[in-house]
Amino acid sequence: MTANVDFTYLSESLDTTGSKSHGPIPQSQFLLALGLEPRMAKLLASAEGERKEDIRKGATRLIDTLGMGSQYQIMGIEPDREGEVYPFLPAPASTPTSAPAPAAASAAAGSGESTASSS
């Protein structure tokens, strides 16, 4: 689902439901943690010609920290229980300014919408 989401309000609303929220985290962090790069490598290995460039451009667009990679956010929702949920782990002490890209990343800034994902 893609929409403008007030993640703070949504998270606070879950307090009375017995559910727990995780995140939000940037789309780039989410996709990279779930294996975007190895998946892209496998797709590139079997692609030819223009298809290879389309795959690179598509993956880069999704994780570009100047566009969708940072503007779109992912929140997980689950029944309340203890423990951390991958990939919604606490951020490291120092966070890099941009996520590693599978190819040169230079997409223009997007619409500023956020993404909520429930599980």
Average pLDDT of span 30-44: 97
16-25, 55-64, 65-74, 80-89, range with the lowest pLDDT: 80-89
Q: How confident is the model at residue 108 (pLDDT cuts 50, 70, 90)?
A: very low
11 three-state secondary structure: helix
**Higher-pLDDT residue of 40, 112:** 40
pTM above threshold 0.75: no
Average pLDDT score over the chain: 80
Distance CA 5, CA 95 (A): 24
- Give tens-digit pLDDT for 47-72: 999 999 999 999 999 999 999 999 99
